[in-house]
């Protein structure tokens, strides 16, 4: 791994650093994700058990099918804490894994998670627009919720095709659709506003997080607005991949009612003290999300236009 970061000791960025990063999305990504690295799994309820193993496997299979499993040698871009690649390895989709991210803190946490799981993974700090690996090195390149942070998505996809062997596949999942991002943001803002105001009322103040923590969340949200560069129209993204040189490009979408529930739930969880929400709440949130996901997949995907779903997925092959 190049230049390991120090996520374990990463302090909050100063107001001056945040200000400087406002006009530099890549620097903002490093700052924001280094800052988030140690608390990221908890914030997004990421696990490395059956819950997230089946989630990662199902998202992958939804757009790319199950042919070619296991891929012998796979690279993840924008790995974060390793959620997608490590869970795909546990699902038997990938044998040997390599993680990369522009944030040193994230690569450090992903490698730590891999070690704890006993998985054969190495990693490097790398920008997806200039991937630090040789041509034709991998059978598979994956990414989850990362393309929307990349200034030049077509350049990143050209790089993906460069590091893939002929016939190798790429799979990106968890990207926000244009419509999905609109309703998710609105619901999130409304939930944050309602929760932080209602918890000022007498009798509900126990449910209010300390003001310093709420201020920190607002500072993080300001950087988040800089790092979230794109939302995607599935067919436009498909054309971008074809322009980059990919063949057999397919796009898919999922999560409609599940996203309408999921975004307010996650925002509510972030707005109240953690100890207020125990196992019962987590169980309720997960079961409700599962039930709605099943309605989305089995019913709504047949009658509602693709563009209205929240998650965009894309796959393609190197000629
Ligand atoms: C929303 S997080 C997703 C992390 C992880 N894939 C997941 O799904 O949990 C996006 C990740 O992309 C990384 N990233 C942003 N810009 C990048 C770039 N230009 N090259 C590589 N990684 C980048 C961020 O540092 C961050 O870890």
Contacts of 188 (CB under 8 A, 6+ apart): 263, 264, 266, 267
Please indicate whether residue 9 or residue 186 has the higher confidence score (pLDDT). 186
Chain segment 140-171, per-residue pLDDT in tens: 999 999 999 999 999 999 999 999 999 999 99
Please indicate whether residue 92 or residue 7 has the higher confidence score (pLDDT). 92
Ligand 1 mean position, distance from CA 10 (Å)? 17
Chain segment 280-298, per-residue pLDDT in tens: 998 999 999 999 999 999 9
Is the pLDDT at 2 greater than 60, yes or no? no
Pocket probe mutation, ligand 1, options 43, 79, 101, max atoms within 8 Å of Cβ: 101
Chain segment 196-253, per-residue pLDDT in tens: 999 999 999 999 999 888 888 877 778 888 899 999 999 999 999 999 999 999 999 9
Q: Which residues line ligand 1 (CB under 6 A)?
A: 26, 29, 33, 77-80, 83-84, 101-103, 106, 127-129, 144-146, 149-150, 174
Query: Atom of ligand 1 at shortest distance to CA of 150?
Result: 19
For position 11, what pLDDT does the model report? 60
Sheet of strand 311-317: strand arrangement:
121-125, 94-101, 71-76, 138-144, 164-176, 311-317, 247-254
Chain segment 86-123, per-residue pLDDT in tens: 999 999 999 999 999 999 999 999 999 999 999 999 99
CA 57 → CA 51, 171, 204, distances in Å?
A: 10, 11, 41
Q: Alpha-carbon distance 88 to 263, whole Å?
A: 24
For position 9, what pLDDT does the model report? 40
User: Among the CATH numbers 3.40.50.150, 3.90.320.10, 3.30.70.930, 3.40.50.300, which is that of 7-176+229-255+306-317?
Assistant: 3.40.50.150
Ligand 1 mean position, distance from CA 148 (Å)? 9
Ligand 1 mean position, distance from CA 203 (Å)? 40
Ligand 1 mean position, distance from CA 287 (Å)? 27
How many beta carbons lie within 10 A of that of residue 27, not counting itself? 16
Burial letters for 29-58: b for 16+ Cβ neighbours within 10 Å, e otherwise? bbbbbbbbbbebbeebbbebeeebbebbbe
Show the tokens assigned to 232. 């995607």
| Nearest CA residue ID for atom 1, ligand 1 | 145
Is the pLDDT at 3 greater than 70, yes or no? no
């Amino acid at each position: 791994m190049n230049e390991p970061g120090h996520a374990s000791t990463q302090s909050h960025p100063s107001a001056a650093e945040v200000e400087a990063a406002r006009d530099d999305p890549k620097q903002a990504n490093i700052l924001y994700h280094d800052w988030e690295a140690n608390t990221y799994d908890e914030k997004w309820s990421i696990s490395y058990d059956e819950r997230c193993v089946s989630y990662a496997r199902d998202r992958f299979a939804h757009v790319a099918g199950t042919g070619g499993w296991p891929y012998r040698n796979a690279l993840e871009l924008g790995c974060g804490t390793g959620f997608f690649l490590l869970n795909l390895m546990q699902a038997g989709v990938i044998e040997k894994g390599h993680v990369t991210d522009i944030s040193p803190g994230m690569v450090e946490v992903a490698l730590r998670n891999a070690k704890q799981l006993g998985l054969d993974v190495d990693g490097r700090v790398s920008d997806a627009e200039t991937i630090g690996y040789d041509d034709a090195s991998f059978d598979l390149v994956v990414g989850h919720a990362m393309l929307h942070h990349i200034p030049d998505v077509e350049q990143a996809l050209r790089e993906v095709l460069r590091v893939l062997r002929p016939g190798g596949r790429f799979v990106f999942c968890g990207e926000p659709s244009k419509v999905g991002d609109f309703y998710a943001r609105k619901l999130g803002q409304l939930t944050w506003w309602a929760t932080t105001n209602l918890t000022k009322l007498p009798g509900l103040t126990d449910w209010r997080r300390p003001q310093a923590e709420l201020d920190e969340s607002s500072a993080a949200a300001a950087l988040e607005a800089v790092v979230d560069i794109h939302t995607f129209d599935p067919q436009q993204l498909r054309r971008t991949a074809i322009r980059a040189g990919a063949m057999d490009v397919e796009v898919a979408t999922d999560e409609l009612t599940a996203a309408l529930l999921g975004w307010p739930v996650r925002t509510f969880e972030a707005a109240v003290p953690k100890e207020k929400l125990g196992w019962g709440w987590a169980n309720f949130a997960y079961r409700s999300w599962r039930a709605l996901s099943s309605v989305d997949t089995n019913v709504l995907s047949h009658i509602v236009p693709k563009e209205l779903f929240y998650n965009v997925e894309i796959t393609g092959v190197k000629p």
